[in-house]
Structure 1
Amino acid sequence: MSVVIPVSADWLTLREDADAGARSRALALRAGRMLRPPVIVHDLGSGTGSMVRWCAPLLPGPQTWVLHDWNDALLDHAAKASARDRHGAPITVRTRVGELGHLRGRDLGGASLVTASALLDVLSADEVAAIVAACLEAGASALFSLSVTGRVTLDPVDPGDGVFERAFDDHQRRTLDDRRLLGPDAVAVMADLFRSAGWSVRLADSPWRLDARDRALISEWLDGWLGAAVEERPALREWAAEYARTRAAQIARDGLRVVVHHVDLLAWPP
């Protein structure tokens, strides 16, 4: 299996504040109460390290974070980020370059907690199963945040909203390099696997709520959302161009609000 997720540092930086505001603090704090020092956190698909910066201050120390990503340039960026635990002490950061589809329990050696953000929906069922199996083998709780649910709410409403949402969701479930992606179904698949193993699972909504303060993020998100929809259904191209012009005018007038629905998952052993 091979998981390579093409993302840019600019996009990850643009979305970091929205991500931080959306993630479930309640689940992170619950995870923190189950940890015993020293704490070792393995973060999957770390990108620029936004999960470290958000989560470390909510957990006890001393903390060591092991950041996993296929992109060594992003990992170099993430390794330079400073973060402190909830007691104010600095954390230790290590990096590990590799494809997440090859993850095994031995790769999570010593883990107290396994985390990821905006990752599950770009994985296949086999890849999610491999991550769950690795967590089970390591005996480490798992906190996976910001998985898309497939639902988007825009205000004002437009007749195209549901059409592009359905096309985007179909794109999320596409077959890519012989991998059938789970898209919005990923969290349910992971939750069922953990529950089948006798683990406890708790879910929490974690929506982006974007308004006039988030014009740049809305514009970038909308471009990607429509682009994926058109890639899935090329017949929507002309409609998408008209829709994009309408929404761009609303963004310019500070007149567009967007809710992108996500869900967070926490799983822990008996």
Structure 2
Amino acid sequence: MTFAPEWLALREKADAEARSTELVEVVRATLVNRNPLTIRDLGCGTGSMGRWLAGRLGGVQHWVLHDRDPRLLELAEASMSELKDVTVETREGDLTSLNAAELEGADLVTCSALLDLLTTNEMNALAVACVEAHVPALFTLSVAGRIEFDPAEPLDAAFQDAFNAHQRRVVDGRRLLGPDAPAAAEEAFVAAGASVRTAQSPWRLDADSLLGEWLKGWVGAAVEQEPARAAEASEYLRRRSTASAVVHHVDLLAIPAKS
């Protein structure tokens, strides 16, 4: 699955405002004596995680950007190469096969809005890889499956349930975690022997362009999952576009036990 650069650009400000800075402070304390830092960003998109995190970590950094979309990798490399004290390399391909040996030498593994696209087995394997490589993981903006509209209305729950079911769908024989990703990630890292901290990282959207685009995708996925919703979707979308919304996400920091 790939994403349009235009969508990633539209959501970048909301992502930046939502991510937990408290977890970043813990990362900084964990990596305090490491310089330069080597950071592997999984599913990097256009590099928004790097643009948000690099300045907060400080010091000299080398980012290894992973994505399956060469177009996004090119954009990410170009933008992140402009950051002070940051060097960049890219890796194109399927990140679900990463193992501990490939993560050796990294000081931090990151991702943003990625875990819902993994399966339970892939999440477990990623956690094991990070822990066996003794590398902390900062995984941000995992969807939590919960939306709060203001004002609320009765149809909100029906569309939310349909969307969540769509996120848990089977794609090419893989059942996606969807909104179960935050709990699955925490369970996987704890089982692998890491200490885990989580933080809420909600989007807070008003009637703007991001809300409009997000709503179209949210309602569209719900209707794809439950076609019977199609008859009420257009009017529901019109009403919701003038509301405000809190779209809940979870950030997770996993730190392997010292060997």
TM-score (structure 2 length as normaliser): 0.95
Q: Distance in 1 between matches of 2:228 and 2:102?
A: 44
Name the residue aligned to 1:121.
116
Conservation of the 8 A alpha-carbon contact between 2:42 and 2:95:
yes
Q: How does 1:117-266 map to 2 (within 5 A)?
A: 117-212=112-207, 215-248=208-241, 250=242, 256-266=243-253
TM-aligned CA distance change 1:83 to 1:205, over 3 Å: farther
Residue 258 of structure 1 aligns with an amino acid whose one-letter code is A
Root-mean-square deviation over aligned CA pairs:
1.4
Residue 157 of structure 2 aligns with an amino acid whose one-letter code is G
Residue 265 of structure 1 aligns with an amino acid whose one-letter code is L
Conservation of the 8 A alpha-carbon contact between 2:198 and 2:252:
yes
What's the secondary structure of 1:237's corresponding residue?
helix
2:12 is aligned with 1:16: yes
Conservation of the 8 A alpha-carbon contact between 1:57 and 1:84:
no
Measured after TM superposition, the shift of residue 242 of structure 1 is: 1.7
Name the residue aligned to 1:253.
none
Conservation of the 8 A alpha-carbon contact between 1:52 and 1:83:
no
Residue 204 of structure 1 aligns with an amino acid whose one-letter code is A
Runs (5+) with no aligned partner, structure 1: 251-255
TM-aligned CA distance change 1:197 to 1:101, over 3 Å: closer
Q: Distance in 1 between matches of 2:218 and 2:81?
A: 32
2:25 paired residue among 26, 29, 36: 29
Measured after TM superposition, the shift of residue 108 of structure 1 is: 1.7
Residue 17 of structure 1 aligns with an amino acid whose one-letter code is K
Conservation of the 8 A alpha-carbon contact between 2:47 and 2:80:
no
Measured after TM superposition, the shift of residue 244 of structure 1 is: 1.2
2:40 paired residue among 39, 42, 58: 42
Measured after TM superposition, the shift of residue 221 of structure 1 is: 0.2
Conservation of the 8 A alpha-carbon contact between 1:43 and 1:114:
yes
Q: Distance in 2 between matches of 1:102 and 1:49?
A: 21
Measured after TM superposition, the shift of residue 28 of structure 1 is: 1.2
Name the residue aligned to 1:105.
100
Conservation of the 8 A alpha-carbon contact between 2:137 and 2:255:
yes
Name the residue aligned to 2:50.
52
Conservation of the 8 A alpha-carbon contact between 1:57 and 1:83:
no
Measured after TM superposition, the shift of residue 83 of structure 1 is: 6.8
Measured after TM superposition, the shift of residue 7 of structure 1 is: 0.7
Runs (5+) with no aligned partner, structure 2: none
Q: Distance in 1 between matches of 2:228 and 2:85?
A: 53
Measured after TM superposition, the shift of residue 84 of structure 1 is: 8.1
TM-score (structure 1 length as normaliser): 0.91
Residue 53 of structure 1 aligns with an amino acid whose one-letter code is R
Measured after TM superposition, the shift of residue 107 of structure 1 is: 2.3
% identical equivalent positions: 52
Conservation of the 8 A alpha-carbon contact between 1:19 and 1:146:
yes
